[in-house]
Amino acid sequence: MARSEKARGKVVRRLGVNIYGNVKYDKLLKKKPQGPGQERGKRSRNKISNFGQQLLEKQKIRFAYGISEKQFYNTFLKAKKKDGLTGDNMMILLERRLDNVVYRLGMATTRAQARQMVSHGHIRLNGERSNIPSIVVREGDEIKVKDNDGSKKLVRENLAKSGQPVPVWLSIVEDSLVGKIERLPYRTDISTVANEQAVVEFYSK
């Protein structure tokens, strides 16, 4: 689900929130707060319905994590089977995806890049080659960069550019380029990009 920078900008403007986290999209929203194709200051003619709002919240999360509709729905179904709040479970499962963890560790500058790095074999999970971005990590898992000069150079450059702090449930030793899942994330560890309860209601109809 790779997107060009131009396409990402349109998505951010259409959804009205910086789902990708990059500061340049905050600047874009400030400069162009209206949706693509709309005149500045012009009000929307149609009031959004409850269904439309639920759909919008779903799209915010799905685009933020860069996954397909099928993948997102399957995540919802898995979350529904777990104890606790379905919305919280869904967000935690999304955070535990291998591609997201690589991104959160700062090894990649975007989730799209992290997904590509995993797919192309740059990442080792517990010492084994893992090219499936959707793998859900567990507590104690170790994320390591492939023992290859090109892979290591790429990750070191990304770590130098990354401006985001590593979440408290993760840790990384930059010298050895090894990350670890210290514990599983809580819902409070995850930044909110949308109302996940609206997504639960959308899929529960």
Predicted confidence (pLDDT) per residue in 67-125, tens digit: 999 999 999 999 999 999 999 999 999 999 999 999 999 999 999 999 999 999 999 99
Q: Are 90 and 198 in contact (CB under 8 A)?
A: no
pLDDT-derived band at 164 (thresholds 50, 70, 90) equals confident
Greater pLDDT, 77 or 15:
77
**CATH architecture observed for domain 97-184:** Roll (3.10)
The b/e string for 81-103 (b: 16+ C-beta within 10 A; e otherwise) is: eeeeebbbbbbbbbbbbbbbbbb
Predicted confidence (pLDDT) per residue in 124-140, tens digit: 999 999 999 999 999 99
Q: Which CATH class is domain 5-39+47-82+192-203?
A: mainly alpha
pLDDT-derived band at 186 (thresholds 50, 70, 90) equals very high
Flag whether the pTM goes above 0.75.
yes
Q: How far apart are CA 17 and CA 61, in angstroms?
A: 11
Q: Would you kindly state where each structural domain of the chain is located, as residue ranges?
A: 5-39+47-82+192-203, 97-184
Query: What average pLDDT does the structure give for the chain?
Result: 87
